[in-house]
Chains A and B, each alone.
Chain A
């Protein structure tokens, strides 16, 4: 049963520190998404990739957030410098993609980030 994996599962850091979150999409999936979940804002799309190319990162604060896919098995989301308002659960999701006739997305377990 293939699943999206994310590391770390929990991260506590001080304001101003760099945070890097990693995601391994399901093998063969061509689309990767980063979401942020908070009680106030719900599930927000931050960025997404198709075939490792960034297609849309309009939901991401560009001054401090960056998302990359160094290869097909790794997606990263970095925050530098982190701020208390970045505290949230960050989910990665992957899907086969429209090229394979599928629009489904499967979520990883999330990284719970706390910035003090």
Chain B
């Protein structure tokens, strides 16, 4: 079955710097890759996603890149702000199943 590895487990950056979180997946048939942000005590919220027919997607300060050959995808946050501090989860899915397999999460701390 699908397995998703996420790195790093914790990340601390200064406000204004960029942050990058990387995930690798095992099943080459996976074709949908969402990213979720979870603040303490809150629900995971979908912040951006990418399908396998696209190499990059951007939404304001966040972007996701996908390398299907290497089976990895990354989340990029530019100009980080303290409110970006949260746990970020990547996931991979076989679209015909709808199942999401999540990475272990990255705790991002943005220092003012």
Q: Classify the secondary structure of A's interface with B.
A: strand
Interface size class of A (residues with CB under 8 A): 20 to 34
How many residues of chain B have a CB within 8 Å of chain A?
Answer: 23
| A105 vs B98: C-alpha distance when bound (angstroms) | 9
Question: Which chain B residues border A91 with CB–CB below 8 Å?
Answer: 43-44
Contact of B34 among A42, A50, A105, A108 (CB under 8 A): A105
Chain A interface (Cβ < 8 Å from any Cβ of B): 31, 33, 42-43, 45, 48, 50, 55-56, 91, 95, 97-98, 103-110
Told that A42-B89, A42-B104, A103-B98 touch, could you supply 15 new A-B pairs with CB distance under 8 A?
A: A43-B44, A43-B89, A43-B102, A45-B100, A45-B101, A91-B43, A98-B95, A98-B96, A103-B49, A104-B34, A105-B34, A107-B44, A107-B45, A108-B43, A109-B42
